[in-house]
Amino acid sequence: MNKKVISRILMALAAYGVFVILVVNFYDDSPSNMQWEDREAYNRQFIAKLQLDEFTFEQALEQLGSPDITEAKKINDNRHQVMFYRTQHIKSDGITTQEECTFLLFINGQLKEIGLGSNYTKSW
């Protein structure tokens, strides 16, 4: 090979390397930026790995983003927060319902219950 071909290959590799570095450092791959199908799959996979009492409300917001539906109430000195994340598509109507979600119940910031939205009943 001649020097011209080798120099072009090295320039292309250098440009590719710069591109990869920029994507890794500046691309925000958060759930809120995903298409709804991708976000549902991400939510299902992430929630399947959760363990009760080892996941916090703050971690949910950070790693899953804003919930699709949320409810909160203070009972005695306990804070109850229920977050619904869409995990299964039922009807293409542009509205997310509890039946299309998985709920996460936090009491005083700790995850206490996980379940399908259709099985959610207010315990307060």
For residue range 51-60, list pLDDT tens digits in order: 999 999 999 9
Dihedrals phi, psi of 111, to nearest 5 degrees: -70, 125
Residue 26 in domain: no
- Alpha-carbon distance of 94 to 34, in angstroms, equals 16
* CATH code of the domain in which 69 resides: 3.30.1450.10
Task: Give the mean model confidence (pLDDT) for residues 97-112.
Answer: 93
Identify the helix (H) or strand (E) that includes residue 101: strand 101-107
Contact 85, 64 (CB under 8 A): yes
79: in domain: yes
Domain-embedded: residue 4: no
Q: Is residue 6 part of a domain?
A: no
Residues 6+ apart with CB under 8 A from 48: none
Q: What is the pLDDT of residue 50?
A: 93
What pLDDT is stored for residue 124 in this prediction?
53
Tell me the residue type at 113: E
User: Is there a domain that residue 30 lies in?
Assistant: no
**90 in a domain, yes or no?**
yes
Residue 102 has a CB neighbour count (10 Å cut-off) of 23
CA-to-CA dists, residue 108 to 80, 85, 99, angstroms: 7, 19, 25
Range of the domain at 94: 36-119
DSSP 56-100: BHHHHHHHH-S-SEEEEEEETTEEEEEEEEE------SS---GGG
> How many domains does the structure of the chain reveal?
1
Q: Specify the pLDDT at position 97.
A: 86
78 domain residue, yes or no: yes
**Quick check: is 101 in a domain?**
yes
Residues contacting residue 88 through CB under 8 Å, at least 6 positions apart = 40, 44, 100, 101
